[in-house]
Amino acid sequence: MRLKRVLWNAAAAAVAVGGMLFTAPGAYAGTTTLGTSGETSLIQVLANIYNGGTVTGSIGDASFDWSLAKLTRVQDTNGVGNLDLHLGTGGADGTKNDRSWVDGVGNFTVEAKIAGNSQEFGYYDGAYTSVLTGASVGDTATAGPVVGSVFQWVLKSGGNTWYSHNLLPGSSIAPQDMDHMVTWQVEYKSGPKLGGKVWIVAWEDLPSGISDFDYQDLVVEISVVPLPAAAWSGLAVLAGLGAFGYLRRRQRMSLAA
């Protein structure tokens, strides 16, 4: 009986892996198309932040490898599951999208890199929490944690409220007219954020009928605040206890089979 279960589980795992190989979306197939306007383009904004102002590449590129940091575009529509703010898993490899996020670990700091008039940035996890109000360039704030919650980033501008998830499944909020936020995962090459989990999100603040689709109306960098070493030690102990308990249960089940 145990042999049958092992063979069945192995076969199921092989099918699952095969399915992933043949059905996983292309890493950047589901990205929203970005436009340009008479204003400073988004690629120039990003270059000013991470490359000393020199523009290299084009706004449609999946990644920018610049002098201060490497930026990797996160999908907007393809991919399954919620993007993990603190672990960064599934963003750069294209298996998840930037619609919904999860937290549950600690705080995060946000900084406005470019902002138009009357921009407000926050998050929605069933209720709205404001993080930056009346954002201006250089404004920073620390927020979180959003413990155990799936959440969306939010832009409030000109009487409109836009969410990172343009559909918001299971919510009473009506679907939006378009995708209003695009995301890159940032890997700093030096400085205090080296090795940290950092994201840059860029917003379009106008509805589709009058939008210029340039996604540079509010640009915010989100940096994870790492847990202190003592907290990681505590989590490791809890994880070890959980694993020990799991092995004990498996042992009892095997003896009973």
Angle among Cα 130, 153, 214 to the nearest 5 degrees reads 110
At the topology level, CATH places domain 41-231 in: Jelly Rolls (2.60.120)
Q: Which residues contact 2 (CB under 8 A, 6 or more apart)?
A: 254, 257
Q: What's the rounded Cα separation, in Å, for the pair 110 and 134?
A: 14
Count each helix (H run) and each strand (E run) in the chain, helices first. 3, 13
pLDDT (0 to 100) of residue 56: 76
Nearest to 42 by CA among 184, 242, 233: 184
Per residue, the 3-state secondary structure of 212-235, as one string, reads: CCCCCCEEEEEEECCCCHHHHHHH
Q: Which residues contact 13 (CB under 8 A, 6 or more apart)?
A: none
**In the block, residue with structure tokens 């990681």:** 232
**Is residue 251 a contact partner of residue 243, using CB atoms and an 8 Å limit?**
no
- Could you tell me the residue ranges of all domains in the chain? 41-231
The CA–CA distances, whole Å, from 10 to 13, 19, 21 equal 5, 14, 17
pLDDT (0 to 100) of residue 90: 84
pLDDT (0 to 100) of residue 60: 77
Q: What's the rounded Cα separation, in Å, for the pair 129 and 160?
A: 16
Mind giving me the DSSP string for 30-65? Answer: TPPPP---SS--HHHHHHHHHSTT---S-TT-SEEE
Supply 253's token pair: 């089940």
**In the block, residue with structure tokens 């670990």:** 105
What is the number of other CB atoms lying within 10 angstroms of the CB of residue 14? 10
**Is residue 66 a contact partner of residue 178, using CB atoms and an 8 Å limit?**
no
What is the full per-residue pLDDT of the chain (257 aa) written as tens digits? Answer: 333 333 333 333 332 323 222 222 233 568 998 888 777 889 989 999 998 777 777 877 888 999 999 999 999 988 888 999 988 888 888 889 999 999 877 899 999 999 987 899 999 998 999 999 988 899 999 999 997 689 999 999 989 999 999 887 677 788 899 999 999 999 999 999 999 999 999 999 999 889 899 999 999 999 998 766 555 454 444 344 444 443 444 444 343 44
pLDDT (0 to 100) of residue 80: 86
Q: What are phi and psi of 104, to 5 degrees?
A: 85, 5
pLDDT (0 to 100) of residue 230: 53
